Amino acid sequence: MVATLEHLVDSSTPRQRDFEYAKDMLSLAPGQIAGLSGIPGSGLTRIGMSLLAPYAVRGPLVYLDVRGWASPMAAWEMGIEPERFVVVRSSDVVTWSRIVATLLDGVRGVYAEVPTGLRDQALHKLAAKARAKRTPLVLRPVTGKLPSGVAHLNLEAREVLWEGTEAGHGNLTNRRTLLVASGKATRGMVRTIEVEDDGTNDLRVVSHMGPRTARIVNGRVRAG
């Protein structure tokens, strides 16, 4: 009679572990909710698309477009097939919750811009429904942030660095976005991650930065 015992030792460095953890953080399991906040231009639409893109192989994804500015090209660049990407245009606060609730019943992933003036209670109910239906949901408030407790992962854009342009020459190529992440996904801590986007369907967490714990100084979150 022979017994085999296998004992695995984690040989990665704390820095590597942090990096892997940050990469995992930029993914959304079924039923999880991500909240994105930051002004338009900070790259959050593409980050939101990248969170949902893996679900497009199983069925259509829906972008609930409150502003009427959604461009499906960003989704196509993230590898989502055109016929798997549906845009619903509705700026009406009253029907917004009903539309999201209906979509959660039938589609594989929802990216929803949140109109101004929506009650917190409605968002909490939708979050509960998304969890129950195991449908990943990305919420992007048009202004402000989501109320606490709604999202599993909150990402707030802090700074954007673009490369490729210089005094009239070149064109936009790479973007690095500094994000402050919080919520259950970060185990309750506030962390800073940097994401690189070169316009392809692959967003990368930048390795040399690594995730760092943010400090709260004078009531404002700072990377540090």
Min separation Cβ 159 and other proteins, Å: 6
Min separation Cβ 11 and other proteins, Å: 36
Which residue, 18 or 201, is less far from other proteins as judged by CB? 201
Which contacts (CB < 8 Å, 24+ apart) does range 191-195 have? 191/22, 191/25, 192/158, 192/223, 192/224, 193/22, 193/25, 193/26, 195/26, 195/43, 195/47
Distance (Å, rounded) from C-alpha 177 to C-alpha 26? 13
Q: Which residues bind other proteins (CB under 8 A)?
A: 39-46, 49, 57-60, 67-74, 76-77, 82-83, 85-90, 95, 98-99, 102-103, 105-108, 159-160, 162, 164-172, 175, 197-199
Strands 191-197, 203-205: pairing is antiparallel
Which residue, 32 or 65, is less far from other proteins as judged by CB? 65
Which among 179, 223, 175, 182 has a CA at the least distance from the CA of 203? 175
Please state the length of the chain: 224
Which residue, 6 or 166, is less far from other proteins as judged by CB? 166
Min separation Cβ 213 and other proteins, Å: 23
Which residue, 68 or 117, is less far from other proteins as judged by CB? 68
Min separation Cβ 62 and other proteins, Å: 8
Which among 156, 97, 158 has a CA at the least distance from the CA of 129? 97
Which residue, 14 or 168, is less far from other proteins as judged by CB? 168
Min separation Cβ 108 and other proteins, Å: 8
Burial 21-32 (b: 16+ CB within 10 A, else e): bbeebbebeebb
Distance (Å, rounded) from C-alpha 136 to C-alpha 108? 7
Strands 33-37, 137-141: pairing is parallel
Min separation Cβ 55 and other proteins, Å: 10
Residue 109 in tokens: 């992933």
Which residue, 19 or 63, is less far from other proteins as judged by CB? 63
